[in-house]
Structure 1
Amino acid sequence: MTSDQPLLGKHVLVTRPRGQADSFIDKIKAAGGIVHFVPLIAFRSFLDKREKERLQQLSTYDWIILTSKNGVDFFFRRLEEKGIEWKSLQARFAAIGTKTAAVLKSYGFQAEYIPEKFSADQFAEEINSDRFEANKVLIPKGNLARTTIADALREKGVAADEWVVYETYFPEEEKQHLIDLLKTEKTDVLTFTSPSAIRHFMESIQEAGIHELKQSVIACIGPVTKKEADHFGLHTLVCPDTYTSESLAEEIVRYFRKEED
């Protein structure tokens, strides 16, 4: 093993969704890691029963808060499918994280507000301390997203409407892939970037009767995912301060570099 490749020979499970894992995988490979890609979550459009109402009121929101890259894509996709000229939107945009802001920019909009840490809890703290102010807010989101931001806004007397534009599901075809991998390969690092991935992982291994994970380092992208890992008794050893996949990869590398020392 060399200091340039602290993951040399290490088998790393990557559970990010298809289309979102490439840069993460590249960083793991650059550090010498052997990647096993098993996407444990996928996304599809969701028809919210409140959609008509949200669309009718679209021009009344002064802020639209987007909490994920998927939220951005599925939000604009729904507008396009409904024939709405989204380029004429007058609302200001807030985004949780620079990655979400970058996707938003690809649609021609600038994120005018990004919380200091890329999490709903941090955004809620900033709402509570009056760092973010609004009158009426729309929050396009996934079906599993928490109500943390909307709750904080409502406590401040702000009208906050949530709109579920996509849903997260478990791609069943990956379950056997995961089970076969865990039964035949020693996985040195298990990486998770969402609570859903943790739940789908645990569902799969419990169904297969796999109980031995003590040899694996658990790496989670942030505190919400780590909390879900804790719930299932998984001991997280790697969790970056910045909640991005790039930071997660860097923290994994740092962990094994320390092990090397």
Structure 2
Amino acid sequence: MKVKSILISQPEPTSEASPFYSLAKNLKIQVDFKPFIKVEGLTAKEMRQQKIDLSKYSGVVLTSRNAVDHFFRVAEEMRFHVPDAMKYFCQSEAVAYYLQKYIVYRKRKVYIGGKSFSDLKSILKKHKKERFLLPSSNILKPEVPTLMDELNLDWKRTTMYQTVSCDLSELKDVQYDILVFFSPLGISSLYDNFPDFKQGKSTIAVFGKTTLEEAENRGLKVDIKVPTPETPSMTMALENFIKENK
């Protein structure tokens, strides 16, 4: 099988230094990008239906940059002035750094975990007197509410945004040698758009265990699985596969 075209189910990279561009150039193949999923914010009206009063909370638990964006978006739409005394509990340094888009970092109380949500445990435990708001999408990792409940915190989850399938109708009659997926939702979007999708001769590449599980549950044959000790990145795995099947 000679690979001539690859579809990456993500937005096109903004940096020219993306390894996908190098892959396309070095191997002289076509690499296209198309996001299969997108994030949509709930309106202020939809938020009010959840009966969330932002003024009742003294701490915000932020698990992603999307959570940061939509917390401040909703606050603005609901005409709620976020007080200077608000405390921010960020899952990672990346989330905390992104928070500077909305606040003067050095003048606020910002607490930072590590890589996973469990790294916030000791920090949250020290602030048990706070009332916590957890802005999230319609999909939330189970360990998040489990940990919050385990600590007996006074907390409330609010859905401020949701991940939905993109319209992929323009791909209906387009064929690619390799389809690349990075999340279970990307696989779901494929079938939301094309319920009768048949893999045919297309090779499927997936990143992550949950993506692999979703692909296999859908009956797809996965030939490229990332990460592995030999191929920790998707571009490396794609390059090896293409060279081996040249």
TM range (shorter): 0.7 to 0.9
Relative to its length, the structure with more helix (as a share) is 1
Residue number in structure 1 paired with 2:213: 227
Q: CA RMSD in A?
A: 3.4
Residue number in structure 2 paired with 1:93: 89
Residue number in structure 2 paired with 1:75: 71
Deviation of 1:89 (Å): 4.5
Radius of gyration: which is bigger? 2
Indicate the percent of aligned positions where both proteins have the same amino acid. 20
1:176–1:25 distance in 2 versus 1, CA, 3 Å? farther
Residue number in structure 1 paired with 2:235: 253
- The answer to whether the aligner puts 1:107 opposite 2:102 as a matched pair is yes
Matches within 5 A, 1:210-221: 210-213=197-200, 215-220=202-207
1:168–1:238 distance in 2 versus 1, CA, 3 Å? same
CA contact (8 A) 2:6 2:176 kept: no
- Matched residues, number: 225
- Distance across 2 between alignment mates of 1:92 and 1:71: 12
Secondary structure of 1:186's match? coil
1:255–1:68 distance in 2 versus 1, CA, 3 Å? same
- Distance across 1 between alignment mates of 2:209 and 2:180: 14
- One-letter code of the match for 1:151? T
- Distance across 1 between alignment mates of 2:151 and 2:141: 18
CA contact (8 A) 1:38 1:177 kept: no
Residue number in structure 1 paired with 2:172: 179
- One-letter code of the match for 1:28? F
TM-superposition CA deviations, 1:147-171 (whole Å, max 9, x none): 4302221022122311111122223
Residue number in structure 2 paired with 1:56: 55
Secondary structure of 1:22's match? coil
- The answer to whether the aligner puts 1:31 opposite 2:23 as a matched pair is yes
Query: TM-score, normalising length from structure 1?
Result: 0.70
Query: TM-score, normalising length from structure 2?
Result: 0.73
- Which ranges in structure 1 are unaligned for 5 or more consecutive residues? 1-7, 117-121, 242-247
TM-superposition CA deviations, 1:117-176 (whole Å, max 9, x none): xxxxx424x467x575342432101112344302221022122311111122223xx332
Deviation of 1:236 (Å): 6.6
TM-superposition CA deviations, 1:228-254 (whole Å, max 9, x none): 33432343733348xxxxxx9x71222
- One-letter code of the match for 1:45? G
